[in-house]
Every structure is written in structure tokens, then in C-alpha cells.
Structure 1
């Protein structure tokens, strides 16, 4: 092989490598919204689900991000733990973890909910996936003792695992009937808009922490 031919092949390989590197750099940050019906978008068009609207809001802010919707209506923390590994694909950089509402509605012992969240956070940490933990509050009808045991779970888990915490996923919606479906528990489309606006600053900070650690 002549020197000129070898140089041409080397140049072609170098260009291919540069193009591949550029393509890799251009890949969006992949997040997963992992939760129950509040994440899934219960009784809403798919385009109105929280992950979809949050992705759109972040893109308007200049973030190149994709958020997969891994919400399952009716899911408890036990159900989430059981499906965690196959619901969070390889290549995921971060997870918005929102579970526990159905545990409280069903009166599941808060200690079990905490144990399940602890296990999920441990698994995600082992995979090198960042987490933004979305907190939940027990409904008042469960009584003050249950509420005290349940409501402290999320701060304890955030402190233990060193993850970001958004204290209450339904902030700004839970006490406003006009932002809820007729069941009085799930957000309507306007309610999702409020949730996205309220959570957006915390999510921006979360994304910046991911990119800073790469």
C-alpha cells in the first residue's frame, strides 16, 4: 500500500471517528419518569402526561432532554420495586421517582413503603443513575399517627442516599378542585401544567447536576 493510499484511509477513519464522537455528544439526556397514575397521566391524553409536558418545558429552556413515561396507574412502591430493573433502560441518566400515593391510600404500613423506596434508590445508585425523588403526603383521613410516619419517609430517604428531593409532587394542585379530575385525586391537564411549572426549577437544577457530573 502506498503512503498516499494509507494517508487517505487514515483520514477517512479520523473523519468517521469525529462524526461518531459528535453524534454521541449530540445525544439528549435521557430521563425516566417512574411512578404511578400521577406520572402516567390518568384519564388524560398521552400528550398531557407529566413527563411529556415537563420535557417540552425543559426544551423551551434550552435543555436537550428526553423523558420516558414509566408511570403505571395503581402502582404501589412494591409494584415499582418489582418492575424497576426492566422499566429503566440502560443509558438512562436520571430518574424522577414518584411512588407512595397508592400505599397511603391503601393504608400500607409506612415502614414497608420506606423499605421499598430504600431498595429502589439503592439499585439506581448501583447503576450510576441520578434520582430526583418526588415526595408525597398521606391523606388526612389516615389520621395523624399514620401521616407522621408516612410524611417523613421522603426526607429520610433523600438524606440517606444523597439524592435531590422535591417535597410534594402535587404541590399547587391538591387543594384546587378546578385543577383536578372529578375524582378529586388526579390532576387534569391544567393541573399538570401547574405541576410542571412548580417543579421546573428543581428539575433544571437536577439536570445541571447530571451534566456537571459527566
Structure 2
């Protein structure tokens, strides 16, 4: 599928791997930072390649970095990648980018290590898990925190997302989060697409962190000239 584009030169430029994220972040923009213009590029082929290979290959890493640099050269103040599977590529590309690059899940990881020792990582795509584990480990090292991981893989639920059965996708994730919450101090949703499930299980005994809102707030601070 060819990239989906809107005009460059916005304050925040997003690289997505699913078109569904466009409205998610537009809604956050209207709520949190209506003065900041947003632009979006959708590259479903990048996530499809990661799923097929079961990991981010060197070739895919390079393709992702090239896509990010292209957005960074388009006039945005900050570029955000909303795909956690590709997150490590974002930080590798940052040194060559003319503007800040942000992986959507970095602010979430930084918050997770402040909220508990036992961290549950929930994902629907296996290739996302190693990146998220490495990210949270890095956030913990940065502040000298100990941690332990428990991974909850909901890979059989991903078909519902692919088929557009979003209510089924969110409901099943919420059900499994309720089960996972008994074994950890905080639950981390490794993929942005999982975020709406958190709203379906508000009465869990532990926090459930998702990346879109936390990441958007961080991107808006950067776009406004902060950190």
C-alpha cells in the first residue's frame, strides 16, 4: 500500500503502520494541543515486513530510519513513530535527524519504571516484545531502578484487529488484562492499537499504561520548545 500523506511542515509529524492511528492522534491533538498542526504518514508495509520476518531485520531497520529522516526533513518540529515494533529504529535514526525523533512508547516506559518493580508487558505481536523489554530495561537503568518482567502475549487476538473487528479486539484484550493484573505492579500496553482496551477495565488493582496519550503529551512539549 502506498504511503498515506498529508502536507508536511506541521509541528508534529507521525509515522504510523496502521491508518486507524490517524484519528486517534488527531483527537488527542484537538484535546491537548489544538494550536499544533499535525501531519501523518502511514506505512503498513513496514509492520507487515516485521510480522513476516518475526523481527526487525537490518533491511527493515534501514527502511524505517529512511522514512523517519524523510519526515524530519519536511519541516516538522518533532517526528513521532507510533509503532512500538519499530521503536528501536527511531532512536538509532535520531543522531542523523535535523529535528527530535520520538518513539511513542519511550515516555510510557519512563513512567512504568517509576510505578512498580514487577512490570507486565502486554502485546499482540511477538516481534514487539523484545523492543519493549529493551526499552523498559533502558528506562530502568537510567534511573537506577530494579525491575522484573512478566510478558503476556495475546497473539491470537491480533487477527481481530487485522480484520477490522475492533470491538472484539479491545474486549478480549481487556479480559486478559484483568487476569494479568494479579501478578504485577503495573501493566504496559506495548502497542498503541491496544490503548482503547484500557478504558474497558478501569477497576483493575494496578495501573494500565498505554502510549498514545503519554507519548503525545511528550511530543507536544517538544514541539512547543520544551523537553
Give TM class, smaller chain.
Answer: 0.3 to 0.5
The normalised TM-score by structure 2 is: 0.45
Q: Greater Rg, structure 1 or structure 2? A: 1
